[in-house]
Structure 1
């Protein structure tokens, strides 16, 4: 077994790991969690808007 065999095995391992991560990320069981995470920034803006609206009403 020489260095080229080790490099080949390393490449195969990296490919399997990459495909595993892709399968994990695109699995249907994780879809709702990732969609919620993607909408998080909009939820933060809505909370900030409600807070500022409440402060304006309090000051009026």
Structure 2
């Protein structure tokens, strides 16, 4: 097996993995969770008290 064959097989593996990820991402089963994640930047931020121990400014 020469280097050209190995490179060809590597390319084929990457192509199959890419197509698998694309099919997974665009499948209808996960659309609701992706919609929710897409809207997270627009959600209202929760303001923490200055005395709250979880606050980064305490």
State the structure with bigger RCO (CA 8 A, min sep 6), 1 or 2: 2
Aligned residues: CA RMSD:
1.3
Structure 1 runs (4+) greater than 3 angstroms displaced: none
Q: TM-score, normalised by structure 2?
A: 0.73
Q: Which ranges in structure 1 are unaligned for 5 or more consecutive residues?
A: 49-60
Could you report, residue by residue, the CA deviation over 1:1-49 in whole angstroms, capped at 9, with x for unpaired residues?
Answer: 100000000000000000000011111001010000011111135x56x
> For the residues of structure 1 that align with 2:33 and 2:8, how far apart are their CA atoms?
36
Which structure has the bigger radius of gyration? 1
Q: TM-score, normalised by structure 1?
A: 0.70
Aligned length: 47
Q: Which ranges in structure 2 are unaligned for 5 or more consecutive residues?
A: 48-58
Higher-helix-fraction structure:
1
